Amino acid sequence: MKTIEIRVSGRVQGVGFRACIKRIATNLGVGGEAMNLPDGRVLITATADPVILDKFVSMLYGCPRVVIRDLVQQEIPHAAYPEFTIQRGSYQYST
C-alpha cells in the first residue's frame, strides 16, 4: 500500500470535481479524502496499491466540466483510510 498527496489546479472548484473524485475512488477501492484549498486548487490524499493509484490519477482527467491545468503528486507517509471522503471547510495544514 502507498499513500500519495495530489494537488490539482485549473477549473477544479465549483464543477463537481470532488464528487467525481469520490466516485472514482470508491469504484477502485481507494481510501482517502479530497478538499478545496483557499487558493482554488483541490488537495487529494489517496491510499491504495501503487498500480491502482496510477489508474486513479489517470482517471481524474475524465471528470466532466473539469479543466486540469496542473497536477502534482508526491508520496507521503502511509495513512490508512476506511473509505474516501469529501472534506468541507478550510484547509488546516501548511501548503
CA distances 10 to 24, 31, 41, 48, Å, are 19, 24, 7, 25
The Cα 89–Cα 23 span in angstroms is 20
Confidence (pLDDT) at 90: 55
Q: Is 24 helix (H, G, I), strand (E, B) or coil?
A: helix
Catalytic residues: 18, 36
Confidence (pLDDT) at 89: 62
Confidence (pLDDT) at 57: 98
Express each pLDDT in 55-88 by its tens digit.
999 999 999 999 999 999 999 999 999 999 999 8
Range 10-20 average pLDDT: 96
Express each pLDDT in 24-62 by its tens digit.
999 999 999 999 999 999 999 999 999 999 999 999 999
The Cα 46–Cα 28 span in angstroms is 11
The Cα 69–Cα 79 span in angstroms is 27
